[in-house]
Structure 1
Amino acid sequence: MAKSAEVKLAVFGRAGVGKSESTYQHQATIDDETISMEILDTAGQEDGAQREGHMRWGEGFVLVYDITDRGSFEDVLPLKNVLDEIKKPKPATVVLVGNKADLAHSRQVSAEEGRRLAAQLACGFYECSACTGQGRIAELFLELGREVRRRRLVQGKARRRSSTTQVKQALNKMLTKISS
């Protein structure tokens, strides 16, 4: 039986937005391929070096804010900028999640604001409740896993293309020297 592809996903956000510090394994089928997802749920309290290590480890990222905490929402853009800096030259693959949708009566961040930020970050957007299971929690991880897999395929093709181009250029130089 073939080993399934592995995707490393990390969950980031301010402490208290509804995450737990744990690592999970999950198998899913994405586009007819079995994918093993390793999901690191950070606590949001790690020191700088630990946080950077988690960012380097991950291939896809869930950026979580609490819809009842405007400050946690305002943390998202600077966090994405740090991720992009670490993941250069390509921008980080992310989805944006507004958590605690079950507390809509205490909302400080509108769903529209979340959608606008997701559009600015060019990523998917979800609102859910990790507490009650409300929302499309499984779907957001599948979408992120699919996007990581798609980017790998695109990057693999680009690498193969550039390698082929380099070989052609080397052969052309050798043939030019031979014929001169």
Structure 2
Amino acid sequence: MIPAASKSVIFDLKPGGYVVLDLAVTPPHTAWFTVAASCTAPHCAAAAFTAELVDDQLVMPDHIKAGAQTWQIENMGARMNSLRVLRLNAGVRVEDALAMIMRGSAWPNPPPYQKMVVWTPMSAGEWVWLTVDQTAGAYSVVTIMLDFAADPPRLRQEQGIMRPLLVTE
């Protein structure tokens, strides 16, 4: 949980084996589980909007209202993709924050952001409902694709997208 931010998530998982990996602690925590076939659809709140992750574009509103709301995030591209919402500190460029993310660098103190929402990478055709409580302000929305053709697999920001998001009262 990120300070001053809250969120809840609903997944529509296909039957099979899964692992939850918490990289925020050392050593990382893992939890393995299996999803059985079901005829029951997940119960989800109505989404305020759908953020469509496509290989060369991100389709979502430029302006949203502050407060708790549900986003539907759907990967409509051919590759694994992720979504981050950054609220950068004064004087920090989104490119600088992304360079730290891409390098996996330790964050300086203070970190380059006031608040960050991160949605985990997901495969093509997957979707999730994410409830986020955003405060008013200017944010940067970033998608980062994963390149599994590289050895070892790596993040590829040059294939991702950056765009502004204004959250208003």
- TM-score normalized with structure 1 length: 0.23
Instruction: Give 1 or 2 for the bigger CA radius of gyration.
Output: 1
Name the structure where helix makes up a greater proportion of residues: 1
Name the structure where strand makes up a greater proportion of residues: 2
- TM-score normalized with structure 2 length: 0.24
